[in-house]
């Protein structure tokens, strides 16, 4: 019965190709003219081509600096962000970060606060913490560090006092704790095959998915004054029901959709109406993002999520257009990561305007 329902949805969507969309729904022709903001990219190259493409496609960008060993050093990421923001402050926004090196040693909090202050002084609109907190980082005594560690309190108090949002990548997709042949998307299979240090199925001695989610929830509960952005659908990408419970529990939290669209598409292929209803109900809590990463050419670079093609500008344009087709129109498209066609959600124009633009502008206080 479910297969028949999915076939009917896909057939209906395919029949709509070339047809005028319903008045309340955008079409593919609207893509470039509608204001949009990709709230999760990584511009690690001082190349204006990314910003030029964003202008052509109707996007503003929020580039996020990350304490990530596969990226340039934090200082270099900051230098690039400062220059690109100065060149086009209305289109290129950025989030700063801090290093976990020396966590727990005397003076670490002061150094972290200094890094944050430097970024904010140059125009940063948020601060990013990465999955190394909880999965990799250890303190000076060799003990694993989690986000709810009270030694982060001075840093978080600084953000709360200055009303600076925190973008938190905590944990990984639930697929990370599954064998490769049980993962639901090919992009996760590729990423974790090439990043075994983050593939928790191979590290049963490390914290479980449930433990990391519980830590994150304790942290969010303890900081109700903090503007919290759960990056990558707060690592609840596998279930819109679970994500709804998270958003209901924490009214001060938002989430972005970065690098998790295929998991959503797998769910909408199983129950299209439920996933569409989720987006409509939580239209004020979701922000569009991709995780597109423009990094220096590296012949030894490992798999990215979304996958890198070697032609970043074409890749970025293709990702943006595919996501628009899925979220804004009823049209079906083949999704390689799930080896299936996925009919679009055809979200109402008002919902699209919030998810793609208004929510991020409000949350990151870009409206003045």
Look at residue 121 and tell me if it is in a domain. yes
Q: What is the pLDDT of residue 5?
A: 39
Nearest to 172 by CA among 128, 213, 215, 220: 213
Average pLDDT over residues 25-29: 97
Look at residue 361 and tell me if it is in a domain. no
Q: What is the pLDDT of residue 18?
A: 43
Look at residue 335 and tell me if it is in a domain. yes
Look at residue 334 and tell me if it is in a domain. yes
Q: Domain holding 257: CATH number?
A: 3.20.20.140
Q: How many CB atoms lie within 10 A of CB 357?
A: 21
The answer to which of 8-22, 40-54, 199-213, 349-363 has the lowest mean pLDDT is 8-22
Q: What is the pLDDT of residue 296?
A: 84
d(CA 131, CA 300) in angstroms, rounded, equals 22
The answer to which of 9-13, 39-43, 65-69, 315-319 has the lowest mean pLDDT is 9-13
From residue 176, how far is each of 24, 84, 135, 173, 340 by CA, in Å? Answer: 38, 34, 12, 6, 21
The residues with which 256 forms a beta bridge, in sequence order, are 287
Hey, what are 41's tokens?
């990219």
Look at residue 292 and tell me if it is in a domain. yes
Average pLDDT over residues 265-271: 98
d(CA 49, CA 36) in angstroms, rounded, equals 18
Look at residue 4 and tell me if it is in a domain. no
Look at residue 5 and tell me if it is in a domain. no
Using DSSP, how many helices (H) and how many strands (E) does the chain show? 15, 11
d(CA 202, CA 195) in angstroms, rounded, equals 11
Confidence category of residue 367, pLDDT binned at 50, 70, 90:
confident
Measure the CA dihedral 289/170/172/204, to 10°: 170
Average pLDDT over residues 265-277: 98
Side-by-side strand order, sheet with 126-129: 286-287, 253-256, 228-230, 166-168, 126-129, 92-97, 59-64, 36-43, 292-294
Confidence category of residue 15, pLDDT binned at 50, 70, 90:
very low
Look at residue 205 and tell me if it is in a domain. yes
Confidence category of residue 308, pLDDT binned at 50, 70, 90:
low
Average pLDDT over residues 128-146: 95
Per-residue pLDDT reduced to its tens digit, 219-265: 999 999 999 999 999 999 999 999 999 999 999 999 999 999 999 99
- Name the pTM for this structure: 0.91
Count structural domains, the chain: 1
Domain assignment of residue 86, given as a range: 26-356
């Amino acid at each position: 019965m479910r297969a028949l329902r999915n076939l009917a949805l896909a057939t209906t969507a395919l029949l709509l190709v070339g047809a005028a969309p319903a008045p309340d729904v955008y079409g593919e022709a609207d893509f470039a003219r509608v204001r949009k903001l990709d709230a999760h990219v990584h511009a690690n190259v001082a190349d204006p081509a990314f910003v030029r493409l964003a202008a052509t496609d109707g996007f503003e960008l929020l580039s996020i600096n990350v304490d990530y060993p596969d990226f340039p050093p934090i200082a270099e990421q900051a230098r690039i962000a400062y220059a690109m923001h100065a060149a086009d402050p209305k289109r290129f926004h950025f989030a700063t970060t801090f290093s976990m090196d020396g966590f727990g040693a005397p003076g670490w909090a002061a150094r972290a606060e200094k890094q944050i202050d430097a970024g904010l002084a140059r125009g940063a609109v948020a601060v990013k913490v990465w999955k190394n907190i909880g999965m990799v980082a250890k303190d000076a005594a060799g003990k694993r560090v989690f986000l709810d560690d009270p030694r982060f309190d001075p840093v978080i108090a600084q953000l709360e006092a200055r009303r600076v949002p925190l973008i938190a990548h905590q944990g990984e997709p639930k697929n990370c704790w599954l064998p490769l042949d049980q993962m639901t998307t090919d992009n996760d299979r590729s990423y974790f095959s090439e990043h075994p240090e983050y593939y928790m199925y191979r590290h049963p001695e490390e914290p479980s998915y449930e433990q990391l989610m519980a830590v994150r929830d304790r942290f969010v509960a303890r900081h109700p004054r903090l503007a919290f952005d759960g990056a990558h659908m707060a690592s609840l990408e596998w279930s819109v029901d679970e994500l709804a419970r998270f958003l209901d529990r924490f009214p001060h939290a938002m989430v972005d959709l970065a690098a998790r669209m295929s998991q959503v598409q797998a769910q909408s292929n199983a129950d299209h109406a439920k996933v569409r209803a989720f987006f409509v109900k939580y239209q004020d809590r979701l922000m569009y993002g991709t995780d597109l990463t423009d990094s220096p050419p590296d012949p030894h670079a490992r798999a990215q999520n979304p996958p890198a093609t070697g032609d970043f500008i074409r890749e970025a344009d293709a990702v943006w257009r595919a996501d628009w087709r899925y979220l804004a129109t009823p049209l079906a498209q083949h999704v390689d990561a799930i080896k299936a066609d996925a009919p679009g959600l055809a979200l109402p124009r008002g919902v699209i305007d919030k998810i793609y633009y208004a929510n991020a502008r409000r949350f990151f206080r870009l409206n003045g």
